[in-house]
Amino acid sequence: MLGTLTRYLRFMGYDTMSANSLSPGNTREDTLLLEIATREDRILLTRDRELARRGVERVVYITSEDIMSQIRQLADSGLIEPEVRMSRCSLCNTRLRPATRREIRETPYAPRSPLEREFWWCPVCKKLYWMGSHGARLERRLREIRLLS
């Protein structure tokens, strides 16, 4: 439901869990999500009105389907600071660490000229990250949100 928002929040450095990590077909999924939010002191983000009603203070109902509007909503409510931090894997949420020269060299999708760039590595997914054109576009879009907030 909010997979893109999950990835963007991870790019911004937020420890973000996705309902996709739960067992599929769990009929108690909403109850389980509310229990996890309470137990782990998390805020549950949802587009499900009924779940938002049940969760009251632990749940934020996301009003828009547009990703930048979703981020603006969270920023305007003071829940996030929209800024790229590159500290978490966008896929698995693991903390990134600086990549080694070997990891950069052995990654087939790494840029051909890695000089003067900063690289991060996910030790779980074995994924290489750097601030390329995609990251620059995201940072520009987040800067616009900060200016409007």
Two structure tokens written together for 52: 């938002």
**Percent of residues, the chain, with pLDDT higher than 70:** 94
Tell me how far apart the alpha carbons of residues 105 and 112 are, in angstroms, rounded to a whole number.
Answer: 9
Contact assessment for residue 12 and residue 5, using Cβ atoms and an 8 Å cutoff:
no
3-state secondary structure of 19: helix
Tell me how far apart the alpha carbons of residues 65 and 43 are, in angstroms, rounded to a whole number.
Answer: 19
Greater confidence (52 vs 20) lies with 52
pTM for the predicted model, two decimal places: 0.88
How would residue 68 be classed by pLDDT, with cut points 50, 70 and 90?
very high
Greater confidence (28 vs 130) lies with 130
Domain residue ranges of the chain, discontinuous segments joined by +: 1-85
Whether the per-residue pLDDT at 114 is higher than 70: the answer is no
How would residue 1 be classed by pLDDT, with cut points 50, 70 and 90?
confident
Tell me how far apart the alpha carbons of residues 28 and 41 are, in angstroms, rounded to a whole number.
Answer: 20
